[in-house]
Chain A
């Protein structure tokens, strides 16, 4: 019985570890440029400013405000992910995985806040997920925008 409990605890921990490692690998995927900035500006998303504030270790952490702002950004981005330049209006498997990871990180943030452990890291992870989702939307919108243009039309748009 002791061995079973030990296996249960270790395997569960390893399951979450591998899940996190896979999500982190996906988040590390590089885009050819920062597609998320136009999306952030157009929708007044706040995660870049939150990241800046959290990375400044001297500033106090406004937990409840940051959490609310990140969740609002998440709702806006997941809506856009489904509806902006998406003909099928469905999330991809990768999007779903990252959305699950975001929710898990929100839970971890709540736990971290309760015990005052790893709050900054959880918030930074959430902003990384939001940035990735923003990049996916930005690239999709960019492709849709350029899809209707011929090569000469595109060159004419360049200043």
Chain B
């Protein structure tokens, strides 16, 4: 039983997460191809990147073994790539939230996002220079936790902006909630590992918390794609008079 919980459980959970992600990606792609995926392009691209990363990790683990240095390197490098993709996705959501209200706002937000990106890059570069020895595993975990936290703060800013400018766009709000759930859980899990002193807890976090938080986001996105259509902006919405045929209008 202990073996099942400690070793096989996380592996099964990891594969399950991968399968669910793959299934939801196929569903999203099918919706896009049928022209019923309005507002889901960014989420689909992010999901494709995530499934691609999952495939690459599995190939590396199969080739070099899951406890090899190559796998660790591949894992963390692809994790940075996923965080970068999430950053781009958050940027696209910011754009969607701003453009509907005013193009001017988007210019300010774009500047803010670029500043955050450059600042994070500079801080990352400086800290990597400072920690070039003993890179694995403690520094990587701490750095990753900070990246997740920065992303979570950005997502929270986006969520607050949505409450002000696009509170009726349920699709966008739920997509953002999904991202928030994943990155808040990841930041909390890695912070917990650090607070607990990098002990056996890391295995539990990596094995259970990471795939579970990912599954939470993926399932919420699936619900959003299946049940919640994209909100029509007010300026695009047609009045009843515009929809009525000419002969009906003539009788009014």
Contacts and interface: CB of A to CB of B under 8 A. Distances in A.
A1 B223 contact: no
B223 to A, nearest CB: 6
A72 B249 CA distance: 54
A11 B187 contact: yes
B184 interface: yes
Interface string B144-174: 0110110010001001000000000010011
A18 B222 contact: no
B184 A14 contact: yes
Nearest to B142: A4
B223 A15 contact: no
A18 B219 CA distance: 14
B204 interface: no
B181 A28 contact: no
B177 A18 contact: yes
B91 interface: no
Given A4-B142, A7-B191, A15-B180, 8 more contacts: A7-B145, A7-B149, A7-B188, A14-B156, A25-B170, A25-B173, A25-B177, A29-B170
Interface of chain B, main secondary structure: helix
B150 to A, nearest CB: 10
Interface residues of B, number: 29
16 contacts: A1-B195, A4-B191, A8-B188, A8-B192, A11-B187, A11-B191, A12-B184, A14-B180, A18-B181, A18-B184, A22-B174, A22-B177, A22-B220, A25-B173, A28-B170, A94-B223
Contacts, number: 75
Interface of B: 142, 145-146, 148-149, 152, 156, 159, 170, 173-174, 177-178, 180-181, 184-185, 187-188, 191-192, 194-195, 219-220, 222-223, 227-228
Interface of A: 1, 4-5, 7-8, 10-12, 14-15, 17-19, 21-22, 25-26, 28-29, 93-94, 97
Given A93-B222, A93-B223, A15 B177 contact: no
A21 B172 CA distance: 12
B219 A4 contact: no
A15 B152 CA distance: 10
Contact of B152 (A11, A93, A97): A11
A151 B249 CA distance: 30
B191 A5 contact: yes
Contacts of B152: 11, 14
A157 B209 CA distance: 53
A11 B220 CA distance: 19
A25 B176 CA distance: 12
A21 B188 contact: no
B131 to A, nearest CB: 15
Contacts of B188: 7-8, 11-12, 15
Contacts of A97: 219-220, 223
B223 A7 contact: no
Contacts of B184: 11-12, 14-15, 17-18
Contacts of A25: 170, 173-174, 177
